[in-house]
Amino acid sequence: MEQKVEIPESKLKDYIQDTDKTKWRLKNNHNIKYFSEDEIKRITSNYSTKLGNGAFGEVYKGVLDDDQWVAVKKYIRLDSQEEFAKEVIIHSQINHKNVIRLVGCCIDENAQTMVLEHASNGNLSDRLHCHDNPISLATRLNIAIECAEALGCMHSMYNPVIHLDIKPSNILLGDDFHAKISDFGISRLRDNIESAINVIGCIGYMDPAFRQEGCLITVKSDVYSFGVVLVELITKTKPTDETKRVIQRFGKAFTKGRPVRDLFDADIANKSNTKVLEAIGAIANKCLNEEYDARPEMNDVAGRLRDLRAVLESGQGKSQTGWRFFNGGQNELKTEKPGVAWSSIFSRNTTIFKKGYPAPAGIPRYSYGDLKMMTKNFIDVLGRGAYCTVYRGHLPDGRAVAVKQLYGVGGSEVEFWSEVTIMARMNHRNIVSIWGWCADKGQRMLILEFISNGSLDKHVLPASTQEDDGPGQRQHLDLNTRHQIALGVAHAMAYMHEECSDGVLHCDIKPHNILLDDNFCPKLTDFGLSTWLSKTMSRVRGTRGYMAPEWVIHREVITAKADVYSFGMVLLEVVSGRNYNFREESVGSEDWYFPKWVYEKCYIHHKIEDILDPILQAEACQGTGIAELMVNTAIWCLQDRAEKRPSMGKVVKMLDGTIEMTKQPEKPVIFCACDD
Known binding-site residue numbers for ATP: 74
Using CA atoms, how far apart are residues 524 and 488, in angstroms rounded to an integer? 9
What's the alpha-carbon Rg for the chain, to the nearest Å?
Answer: 26
Residue type present at position 639: Q
H/E element holding 423?
Answer: helix 413-424
Using CA atoms, how far apart are residues 56 and 80, in angstroms rounded to an integer? 7
Report the chain's terminal Cα–Cα distance, integer Å: 40
Three-state SS annotation for 19-30: CCHHHCCCCCCC
How far from 675 is each of 467, 531, 547, CA to CA, in Å? Answer: 15, 18, 8
Under DSSP, the state recorded for 217 is: P
Residue type present at position 21: K
H/E element holding 311?
Answer: helix 298-313
Using CA atoms, how far apart are residues 265 and 125, in angstroms rounded to an integer? 15
Q: Are 487 and 655 in contact (CB under 8 A)?
A: yes
- Tally helices (H) and strands (E) across the chain: 19, 22
Using CA atoms, how far apart are residues 563 and 128, in angstroms rounded to an integer? 40
Residue type present at position 620: A
Residue among 630, 554, 546 nearest 581 (CA): 546
3-state secondary structure of 392: strand
- Angle of helix 625-637 versus helix 648-655 axis, rounded to 10: 170
3-state secondary structure of 195: strand
Using CA atoms, how far apart are residues 420 and 436, in angstroms rounded to an integer? 9
* Side-chain-side CA neighbours of residue 237 (13 Å): 19
Using CA atoms, how far apart are residues 117 and 115, in angstroms rounded to an integer? 7
Q: Are 367 and 440 in contact (CB under 8 A)?
A: yes
**Cβ neighbourhood burial of 262 (10 Å; 0-12, 13-18, 19+):** exposed
DSSP of 77-128: -TT-HHHHHHHHHHHHT---TTB--EEEEE-STT--EEEEEPPTT-BHHHHH
> Binding site: which residues?
74
Q: Are 113 and 125 in contact (CB under 8 A)?
A: no
Residue among 343, 341, 335, 338 nearest 308 (CA): 335
DSSP of 429-445: TTBPPEEEEEEETTEEE
Q: Are 617 and 627 in contact (CB under 8 A)?
A: no
Q: Are 530 and 505 in contact (CB under 8 A)?
A: yes
Q: Are 471 and 452 in contact (CB under 8 A)?
A: no
How far from 449 is each of 102, 434, 524, 631, CA to CA, in Å? Answer: 26, 6, 12, 32
Q: Are 285 and 230 in contact (CB under 8 A)?
A: no
Using CA atoms, how far apart are residues 190 and 212, in angstroms rounded to an integer? 19
Q: Which residues contact 368 (CB under 8 A, 6 or more apart)?
A: 438, 440, 441, 443, 445
How far from 432 is each of 401, 442, 573, 654, CA to CA, in Å? Answer: 11, 25, 22, 24
